[in-house]
Amino acid sequence: MDYQQPHFYKFNSDSISLSNLAIQYSKDSCDEYKTLLDLGCGCGVVGIEVANQLNTIEYLSLVEVQQDYQDSIQFNLQNLLIREVENKTSYKSFSQIGEQLDETFDLIVCNPPYFTPGKGRKSSNVQRQICRTFEMDSPQILMKLILNSLSEKGKAFILMPKAEIQWQQIKDEYHNNIQKLSEESDIEIYLVFHPNSN
């Protein structure tokens, strides 16, 4: 994959696993997904891969807190988004967005920071630290945003680390709205349902 990425952070196999699982699950579903949101998009790899593979996607919204990703995102949208898909990029934290975006989405993908402050290895590079750690937000803020941003039949796919206590609290609190789809060494991929879909 020839995605342009900033020097301080490169996506890894977690992002590819997330996009592949979201694509496979969505293709196997009888629902028609038209709108896609990539929260904490980094260079845009997950959202772009899903939009390229799902022919029903008409609109892609990318949200990233760090404007340092702007050149990479623009390059990747212009050169690697192979379908005509309307798209928009916003540079905001999850808490700056508020509890809900201006619209709802049929699909949401999210490879968030895995750690809360004080956990995990601290990076000397501030930009890299923001990629890895919830410096200004929390898993709780993110989960509320996801649930409030799903359309009625919407689905979200989110990576969660196994060992982080705050993520375990999310899994416990929202157990009626989430389902584990995949498990790898340090991470799990969860499907998140709209609160009214049960």
CATH for 104: 3.40.50.150
Stretches in the chain below the pLDDT threshold 70: 1, 99-100, 118-120, 197-198
Residue 30 CB contacts under 8 Å (≥ 6 apart), including other chains: none
User: Is 27 within the bounds of a domain?
Assistant: no
User: Is 195 within the bounds of a domain?
Assistant: no
The strand pair at 150-161 and 59-63 is best described as unpaired
Per-residue model confidence (pLDDT) at position 197: 66
Distance between CA atoms of 129 and 195, rounded to whole angstroms?
32
- Each residue's pLDDT tens digit, 70-100: 999 999 999 999 999 999 999 999 988 876 6
In this structure, are residues 61 and 36 in contact, taking their beta carbons and an 8 Å threshold? yes
Per-residue model confidence (pLDDT) at position 133: 79
User: Is 6 within the bounds of a domain?
Assistant: no
User: Is 192 within the bounds of a domain?
Assistant: no
> Total domain count for the chain?
1
User: Is 115 within the bounds of a domain?
Assistant: yes
Host domain of residue 37: 15-22+32-155+166-181
